[in-house]
Amino acid sequence: MPINLISCVINYKNKLAIGRDNGLLLKLKEDLKFFKTITSKNDNDTFNSKIDRNVVLMGRKTWFSIPRERRPLKDRLNLVLTNDKDLIKLSPYPTFPWCKFTKNVYFITYKQFLDFYKRTSANVFVIGGGQIYDLFLNNKDENLLPQKIYLTEVYDFKPEQGLEPDCFMSHFNERYRLVNVSDKHNDNVYNVTFRFLEYNYYHNYRTDEKQYIDLCCKVLKNGNERIDRTNVGTISIFGDKMEFDISDTVPLLTTKRVPWKHCIEELLWFMRGDTDTKILQRRGVKIWDGNTSREFLDNKGLTHYDEGILGPGYSWQWRFFGANYSQAFSDTSNVDTSKIGGFDQLQYVIDTLKNDPFNRRIMMSYWNPLHMNEMALPPCHYSVLFYVEEEKGEKYLSCLFTMRSNDMFLGNPFNIFSYTVLTYILALKCNMKPRRLVYMGGDIHIYKNHLAQMTEQLNRTPRPLPQLKINSDVKDKAISDITVEDFEIIGYHPHSSIRAPMAI
């Protein structure tokens, strides 16, 4: 039987925090009940003649953190890893192969545990602490790697000053796939929310992040050095693709932290038809600041625009294609959009998906040469096409988006996640399920002033991709009423951010 791992974790300063002062950070009633249920589950087919119950494996500190009256944990064989000879004498490990494990607790060395596991193939749950978790998560023997990981992922936890976590467990790699997510639970004692997550281990499995890594490596290996608009210079290739399975997890990169809320804010800004980047600034999103600064606009001859105005770029073409642009319309919350005119491509997509889902013209195009001189920056991603498949009465939505020019370090991680979120929104509104995301790139490049940062990222080990949950109310919400609070990312435990200057 497999080794499993179970823990309650809090994402604290990019670490998986599990405790403080040799104890739990939080004693969530439902989590403790979940722990007991999982580790005590009785399936007689899993037991052999030497052992008739599940095993909980822990370190000495974890053992002594359990209240005396609750030790050993009932209905489970308790194994405590230690090198303390005095403790080992209290309950000596039976060395004869034919011996049964009749006691409720044994204090054993790691070497003795290996013998125990070989003899019994018991169903083992590693329950802490940090060093014991890491011993198995980082084990070089694949037979000793946890085959299942059960995490209670806690949100909104803010430790009091002086009571910060001091015990952590290692992040696990991409061979673990998030396969099950519970509904969200609330705990009023600690004022936190949490979910139960389940990961399965797959031998030699790699997430779809591999495609991003492989494409970046291809650019670095085979790319051409080119002078570009920004005069920074790029390493560039022409024409390539990536394809992501978005039916369960989403391509939110883990080799560096991607500010996913900023990405969604920008997407919703596009969807509303806004073209004033100060709307994003007020929400902490500054990705458009450089390309709509006073200096940048003046250099483009757009001296009549207020600072922060993009002009008839992405958002305008999505919602008002062909209409005459005026910065008076840049904040759609302040105008009657029905009087702007033009063709609403986004609404056309939604209507066609609902009424004619197998149509081959379910697309938007934002490349409008008539408006190029009015844009602070012409679209880098310039078209999107949707495709519907039907199986057993269920419809599945896929998305293909095309980019004429793509900055792989700063831009692409935003782009692939943004179009995934768009696909999820449209699928929800049209009674479908998301399936695939296809990226097509033209000039695919890495800026020369990002080479060190890209090398750092590519040297990191990918981690499991997260899941995206959308508030079901979005199905019937007006586009203008959707907010970033309608979205939740689950199981996102990336490496730290890597800062890099944006080429302007």
- Give residue 161's pLDDT: 85
| CA gap 38, 36 in Å, rounded | 6
Q: Please tell me the class of the 209-490 domain.
A: alpha beta
Asked whether the predicted pLDDT for residue 46 surpasses 80, the reply is no
DSSP secondary structure letters along 273-291: T--BTHHHHTTT--TTTGG
- Give residue 95's pLDDT: 77
216 assigned to active site: no
H/E stretch holding 193: strand 192-201
CA-based R_g, the chain, Å:
27
pLDDT in tens, 298-356: 999 999 999 999 999 999 999 999 999 999 999 999 999 999 999 999 999 999 999 99
Q: What is the mean pLDDT of residues 364-392?
A: 97
Write down the mean pLDDT value for the chain. 95
The whole model's pTM is what? 0.95
Comparing C-alpha atoms, which of 48, 47, 50, 82 is closest to residue 63? Answer: 82
pLDDT in tens, 446-471: 999 999 999 999 999 999 999 999 99
Catalytic residue among 8, 263, 380, 399: 380
Q: List, by residue range, all CATH 3.40.430.10 domains of the chain.
A: 3-201
Asked whether the predicted pLDDT for residue 49 surpasses 70, the reply is no
- Give residue 98's pLDDT: 64
- Give residue 45's pLDDT: 53
- Give residue 48's pLDDT: 56
- Give residue 121's pLDDT: 86
CB 206 within 8 A of CB 174: yes
pLDDT in tens, 111-161: 999 999 998 889 999 999 999 999 999 999 999 999 999 999 999 998 888
CB 116 within 8 A of CB 93: yes
What is each CA distance from 447 to 76, 233, 237, in whole angstroms?
57, 6, 12
Q: List, by residue range, all CATH 3.30.572.10 domains of the chain.
A: 209-490
Comparing C-alpha atoms, which of 230, 255, 212, 313 is closest to residue 502? Answer: 230
- Give domain 3-201's CATH superfamily: Dihydrofolate Reductase, subunit A (3.40.430.10)
- Give residue 163's pLDDT: 86
